[in-house]
Chains A and B, each alone.
Chain A
Amino acid sequence: MTDDDDAVRLEGAYRRYEMGDEVVKALDGVSFSIGKGERVAIMGPSGSGKSTCMNLIGCLDRPSEGRVLIDGVDTAGLADRDLAVIRNRSIGFVFQQFHLLPRLDIAKNVEVPLLYAGVPRRERRKRALDALERVGLADRARHRPSELSGGQRQRAAIARALVNDPSILLADEPTGALDSATGRAVLELFDDINRLGTTVVIVTHDPGIGAAYPRVIKLRDGRLEGA
């Protein structure tokens, strides 16, 4: 069943929430796959299920029904601690609000995923500095997030997402809090990362980004549009 070339594969994935007596179908039977090294935008208006879709791909959540496979591993049957390992090893998260930890300096922020991977301290520091180098922030390693501009913060967050060499870079509205020039720079950085083989999945409602991506998965009302 599993296609070895798939980084992400949803098979009839449902996600239902119970809100009081009401059952909300956030995702209503969605199937698609994203190949390794692909560059994909998941789009849709708010309430379309794209955030739920991101949560499933990012292993922050499990489907109510159906299967979600990340690098060939079915997440539905995994324990919380195994999901944490997948998030740590296979997924690199980039958030709209950057979500850097304010009390840690940039290098320490970038080290966090390595900390949970059990990487020794010296190697953590080295790899964090390498990742910062990749995003052009090596000289800001000792700064606190509050001392950086929005674009720099997002690049720091990208360094953090890349530091553990994930197979999938998963970005949630990564340009939503940035001006358009800075946003463009971030998207170019994604392109560079993608060229080196990392699968890039962007979740966005911005049609401008969609137009620049070779493949767009469109969601509406919890289903694939046109399906």
Chain B
Amino acid sequence: MIRESLLMAFESFAGNKLRAALSLIGVVIGVASVVAVTALSASGAADVRKQFEAFGLDAVQVFASGGSFGQGGPVRLDDALAADILRSFPDAEAVLAQAPLGGTLARKGETSSGAVMAVDSRYFSAMDARIELGRGFDQGDEYRARPVVVLGSALARELFPEGDPVGKRVSFTAQRTSASLEVVGVLAPKPALFMDDWDRSAYMPFMTASRRFFGDLEPRVISVVAKDRDRVVALGEGLKRFFLDRTGDPEAFWITSPKEWAEENEKMIRTLSMLLGGIAAISLLVGGIGIMNIMLVSVTERRREIGVRKALGAKASDIRTQFLVEASALTISGGFMGLLLGWGAAWLAVKGFQWEFVASPDTAVLAVVVSVAVGLFSGIYPAARAARLDPVEALASE
């Protein structure tokens, strides 16, 4: 019976192609917008996750506002503080010091534009910065304050346009001191976040900077590495209380973690997509009302057909099924077109944003379920009216 009703439905659309198409537009647009919003937000969330994963989701960074904590503040980001943090937070695995350095890098008299950072030898692994050529720092570099440097990818190209800089030397000038540094490694490209413009920076061991150039260098930033990625956000909250206790000034420091940013971004995308989804749902409702309208017109126009079918033995339930199937077939076709249209629109947008397109099968299932629901919702009243028609009156109508 369903099969026959489906055939009848398509025969009836074939007899009224333009009207079927026009009445479908609402559902097509409704489903397309729901699908596009879902696909866009899935792709956006995936992109945010991917980006932040590249930043390293294991660390919380503590920034000293306006210079160092030491200047005027009661807290110094020194070894004692690091030990204190490790004691207070069982979730913390390591406390790493960083400081941006003044000074310039040059090679063969050409000064580079890159910033120079002093970092703990474990910094690269903590921040998921991959070494592309050569090596990173080791503890020996730290203890001996070796004159070594690791270059960001763009900076390496700038200073060594001829290629592989590992083993070559650059000169570093700061505080009226110049020294030659050996390039030991080059980083893989990595998007910039907070104070790290990875590609355009040069890194030297913290102790090298402290002993050779700046004398008792104080960190400007510390990165607290969590043992477990899932505990990073909680660790950040704990650190906020920790530093507020010690400085008494919420403005003296700024604490954040890539993970927290990622979660906030995902939350924002979710909120936004729920909002857009709500608007899409309204357009779907309007589409459904369009279908209901066209089905009511169809029932009125086909009163005599309904009468004939009843005279030939159709039960009320047969007539109801026929019109419900017809409405659902209409909305499912609309849903299918909407799915393709929505995916197409989302794909174009995602391309524009340079994200990765995420077309989850859930979206397809959603489109089908939603369009069947709209079909049943909009078909049920017209179908009930058709089923209730009195056969004598229906046969007599023109």
B partners with A: yes
Q: Do A116 and B305 touch across chains, with their CB atoms under 8 A apart?
A: no
Query: B312: which A residues are within 8 A, CB to CB?
Result: 87-88, 93, 112-113, 116, 160
Instruction: Establish whether residues B11 and A84, one from each chain, have CB atoms under 8 Å apart when the complex forms.
Output: no
B314 engages A55 (CB within 8 Å): no
Per-residue A-contact encoding for B384-398, CB less than 8 Å = 1, 0 else: 000000011001000
Using CB atoms, name the residue of chain B closest to A118. B1
Contact A112-B316, Cβ < 8 Å, known A55-B392, A60-B391, A103-B14: no
Partner of B11, one of A55, A103, A113, A115: A103
- Least Cβ distance of A94 to chain B in Å? 10
Question: Is B19 among interface residues, defined by CB-CB distance under 8 A?
Answer: no
Rounded to whole angstroms, the CA-CA distance of A58 and B314 in the bound complex is 14
- Interface size range on A against B: 20 to 34
How many contacts A-B (CB < 8 Å)? 62
* CB of A89 within 8 Å of the partner chain: yes
In angstroms, Cα B313 to Cα A93, docked, is 10
Distance A63 CA – B343 CA, assembled complex (angstroms): 59
Q: Does B4 contact A (CB under 8 A)?
A: yes
Most buried by B among A84, A88, A118: A84
Return chain A residues, CB-CB under 8 Å to B15.
102-103
Q: Taking the nearest CB of chain B, how far is it from the CB of A108, in angstroms?
A: 9
Query: What is the distance, in angstroms, from B248's C-beta to the closest C-beta of chain A?
Result: 83
**Is there a chain B Cβ closer than 8 Å to A212's Cβ?**
no
Q: Measured between C-beta atoms, what is the minimum distance from B126 to chain A in Å?
A: 70
CB distance from A200 to the nearest CB of B (A): 17
Q: Is the CB of B313 within 8 A of A81?
A: no
Given contacts A103-B11, A103-B14, contact A81 B317 (CB under 8 A): yes
Q: Which residues of A contact B316 (CB under 8 A)?
A: 80-81, 84
> Nearest chain-B residue to A161 (Cβ)?
B312
Residues of A within 8 Å of B304, CB to CB, are 99
A185 at the interface (CB under 8 A from B): no
A136 to chain B, nearest CB (A): 22
Q: Is A130 in the interface zone, CB < 8 Å from B?
A: no
6 additional A-B residue pairs with CB within 8 Å, beyond A99-B395, A116-B314: A60-B311, A61-B391, A81-B315, A81-B316, A85-B315, A164-B313
Chain A residues within 8 Å of B, Cβ to Cβ: 55, 58, 60-61, 80-81, 84-85, 87-89, 93, 95, 99, 101-104, 112-113, 115-118, 160, 164
